[in-house]
Amino acid sequence: MPLYPLYALLFLDTGLSGAQISMLFAVWSVTSFLTEVPAGVLADRWSRRGVVVLGGVLQAAGFAVWTAAPQVWAFAVGFLLWGISGALVSGAAEALVYDGLAAVGASDGYARVNGAMTSAELVVQVPTAFAAGALFAVGGYPLVGWASVVVCLAAAALALRFPEAPRTGADGGEQPVRRGVADVLRSPALRVLVLAVALIGGLDAVEEYFPVLAGEWGVPTAAVPFAVLVVALAGAAGAALGGRADRLPGWALLGLLVAAAGFLAVAAVWARPAALGAVAVFYALYLAVLVVAEARLQDGIASTHRATITSVAGLGIELASLLVFAAWALGGAAAVAVLVLAVVPVVRAGLRTREPDVRGPGVPAGGTPTGEPPRRHGSRG
């Protein structure tokens, strides 16, 4: 999205104060928090593909408001729409992909596919940065904004072509939020798995501080975007290897997470431009484990409320990210490294379980809502 690298500068150049920008981020965060689970419910009750398409349209609308009327109130409305859009896509997209693979008997490949998607999200930052610069040079913020609107609508149109696997089983008249949350609460294995995904997913909030680290460690301001890009590309490589990491035993996955914490701690102590290399290794190892954790969560859901349960985990990620912000305020990167180690026991308990034990109405034991034969998980952790 061309607007991504520039929207903070748009706010500043429009004359917003630091307090106003913080208020806008608060609107974004609160909106995402409040709509995360309802968005998952809508995806389960209506259409996961339809929800993903709607998310793209709402994001386009938000950027259109920003571009047409660059004022504080318009930025707030745009963040409101963007927050809803993000909530709509988060749980629905994962459920759509997983059930699509399961429908053709290929759910074992979800970790690889999810890793490729995560990797693509990071790699695309490279052409996006160049596109943003070129568009801004030609037409300033208006051209960047309208181009972003077009990209959002094009993505929504592409999502219309995604196949959506038919789902069987009824809700039994139960309120969907209560049913989805009940699936989590009544299953100890799924409960721990959701908590593990929430904690490890929340750690990704440290990405917001990579430019800060680069600046504090002596990287020239003009070079900071490129330094951060190197870290992002390392993360893309780690995510792309998530499919292979999914074949590792549980102790090896925990070893990767512990090693990631070690590299981040070394970088915090080293505190030189070259230390960003250690940060890059940290991010690569961390994202490999995150991709596996997300895949294990989808494996562990044998319910018609997949998007709702995934959104519950997403809500947990939003809350867990606050731990990263608090750790950073207390001790910077070193404190975040300690936090990574602190979540290892929960991650260990969550990744230990492979067999789904939550079944929705009409889902046979050991099966999935799509009628896929029982999966043989083997002994991979």
The dihedral through the CA atoms of 18, 22, 24, 28 has a sign that is positive
Most confident option among 82-91, 172-181, 262-271: 262-271
Helix, strand, or coil (residue 359) = strand
Give me the DSSP letters along 8-43.
HHHHHHHT--HHHHHHHHHHHHHHHHHHHHHHHHHH
Nearby residues of 320 by Cβ (< 8 Å), 6 or more positions away:
198, 199, 201, 202, 203
pLDDT at 367: 38
Between 26 and 43, name the one with better pLDDT.
Answer: 43
Question: What single-letter amino acid sits at 236?
Answer: A
Between the alpha carbon of residue 18 and those of residues 12, 23, 24, 76, the distances in Å are 8, 9, 10, 14
Is the domain covering 176-352 a CATH 1.10.10.1100 domain?
no
Between the alpha carbon of residue 227 and those of residues 66, 264, 280, the distances in Å are 29, 16, 10
CA distance 264 to 226: 19
Length of the chain: 381
304-344 pLDDT, tens digit each: 778 788 888 888 888 888 888 888 888 889 999 999 999 99
Averaged pLDDT for residues 36-42:
85
pLDDT at 99: 83
Beta strands in the chain, from DSSP E residues, in sequence order: none
Is the domain covering 1-110+140-163 a CATH 1.20.1250 domain?
yes
Most confident option among 43-57, 92-106, 261-275, 301-315: 261-275
What residue ranges of the chain are covered by domains with CATH 1.20.1250.20? Answer: 176-352
CA distance 37 to 90: 10
